[in-house]
Chains A and B, each alone.
Chain A
């Protein structure tokens, strides 16, 4: 080993208790950071995946401006052939056309305003988890039949069951009166209160007849195999769209800005907490290295007298911190990664999870998701801030005068 490395390493162990305490603070904060970041980003992934899987999808083809102002007239023409073409060109079944309208849904006893979606029964299960969440009856199986599936909360509010009829009243695309009587064939329970209370699905063919859509619809939902591939697929889909129809592709963060904002707000508060933790560790390192430098003032005086330049001495102090930081990083990432991976397999619960689960369709047990980024990002920041903290004692050495330094005890 290089003599300077050996010197730095042995200097660390002149005060083993102090070195272990400082390294321990680094390890503790690194374990905490690995766990928290893995949990946080695991939860975000689940929130996004579950929210998108439930209904919205990774991206939607829409008419320009529809996402900001959902007017019924802003349609995608010939939506079923377009969805079919995309399925074949993308070689994927995860493409489905939809149309949307607001309607008054009336049972024998009550009426509620709801959002009605016309869907392709054959392809909707590939882009939405709702068909798989039908708990009573069945999902739609015909593109024309006067059938409807509704959420569990809506069914309770309207006091209807499978087999009952609902009357829907609304406005057609051309502003005319739209009305239909449909039989409730299924009741779904998504676990997301908003969806279960306000959404109903009917076959797209029936929807287009009732609401005078003339073959058009409002959105073609497209899912990517993984969330990380959305940007790439979005570009591909945009390239496949007919150029003269003013169609655009909106990805999930444009479709659900609230979700992204909620995640950003959560990240901001978490970053503040992490910053406090990192700064505390940095101060611990500063304290250790400052004490270590003050204790060795006499010795530094000697090596300065021998001809070592103050800058090189400063680098020695930084090297000692880097060694301590590397131990903290490796041990922290190792212990943090092992504990988090174990919790990722076992899962665990936290107070308040039920409420959050209901809001974002999350499972009741949490499974942190260890990735290279979650394993190393926190410890790397701790490492860098530790080095930064040791810059002050290192710079202090530059002011040392060999004669005065050698006079100190």
Chain B
């Protein structure tokens, strides 16, 4: 089944006197359980595409479907619901809530989802152990390294078992050892939980694992490589 389908997406930004085409009649499909890497030079449109798929930004034209449901015409509230229950986000800059501990950051999304406190606690401890942060649950983000913070961000993104994880340069701020650990974690989730990943990255190590590579330029897909077939 198709996890994500984008049809003829266009998005233009105004920068000074210039119109920049971030998405230019872009269409693509990602199957459930897929592991897709988007790569492009800076400004190639990969973050704009991730934002459109995640309902964070609306395309000027075109259609976006998640698990068969069209989402580009949903209201702000419905988009928030969609992100809350079906999509996990991992950002380049970790983006944790600074006054909450690692466990509380992970629990926060579940609290918003209305998960009971005991279940929240159990799940958050379990997922933090899974990302290798056992014993660090009560640390604040300021008391953790960049890699540890990114692991918390990943734990937050996947704790509710979303069908789709969107990650924007997740390894950009990590040392190679931590980045390898994160890639292993993504692999594990993809292989064992069937989670679909769409990752915008320049990192060759991530690209090496991807089942499919999508190269973008000026808002268009210029090359697609199916690494399973290769």
Contact = CB atoms under 8 A, between A and B. Distances in A.
B197 interface: no
Interface in B104-163: 104, 107-109, 111-112, 156
**Contact size class for B?**
20 to 34
Given A302-B91, A403-B56, A406-B95, A309 B77 contact: yes
B107 A14 contact: no
Interface in B174-221: none
Interface stretch (A3-11, A117-125, A271-279): A3-11
Contacts of A309: 76-77, 80
Interface in A277-312: 298-299, 302-310, 312
Contacts of B100: 3, 6-7, 10
B168 to A, nearest CB: 10
B122 to A, nearest CB: 15
Interface residues of A, number: 22
B85 interface: yes
Given A3-B107, A403-B57, A307 B97 contact: no
B35 interface: no
A12 B56 CA distance: 28
A305 B112 contact: no
Contacts of A303: 97, 108
A306 B89 contact: yes
Interface string B84-107: 110101010001011110001001
Contacts of A304: 80
Given A302-B95, A406-B95, A307 B57 contact: no
B104 A306 contact: no
Nearest to B166: A305
Contact of A308 (B87, B99, B112): B112
Contacts of B111: 3-4
A325 interface: no
A307 B85 contact: yes
Contacts of A11: 99
B104 A307 contact: no
Interface string A305-326: 1111110100000000000000
B124 to A, nearest CB: 11
A310 B112 CA distance: 12
B44 interface: no
B51 interface: yes
A6 B112 contact: no
A3 B108 contact: yes
A310 B75 CA distance: 12
A186 interface: no
Contact of A305 (B56, B97, B98, B107): B56
A53 to B, nearest CB: 60
A306 B156 contact: yes
A305 B54 contact: yes
A402 interface: yes
A201 to B, nearest CB: 75
Nearest to B86: A307
Contacts of B56: 305, 402-403
B21 interface: no
Interface in A382-409: 402-403, 406
Contacts of B97: 7, 299, 302-303
A3 B108 CA distance: 7
A11 B57 CA distance: 28
Nearest to A14: B99
Among B57, B87, B91, B99: residue with most chain A CB under 10 A: B99
A10 B97 CA distance: 11
B142 to A, nearest CB: 11
Nearest to A303: B97
B99 A306 contact: no
B57 A306 contact: no
B99 A307 contact: no
Given A302-B91, A302-B95, A307 B76 contact: no
Contact of A403 (B51, B84, B95, B107): B51
Interface of A: 3-4, 6-7, 10-11, 14, 298-299, 302-310, 312, 402-403, 406
Given A3-B111, A7-B99, A306-B83, 11 more contacts: A3-B107, A7-B108, A10-B100, A299-B97, A304-B80, A305-B54, A306-B84, A307-B82, A309-B76, A312-B112, A406-B95
6 contacts: A6-B100, A7-B97, A303-B97, A305-B56, A305-B89, A306-B84
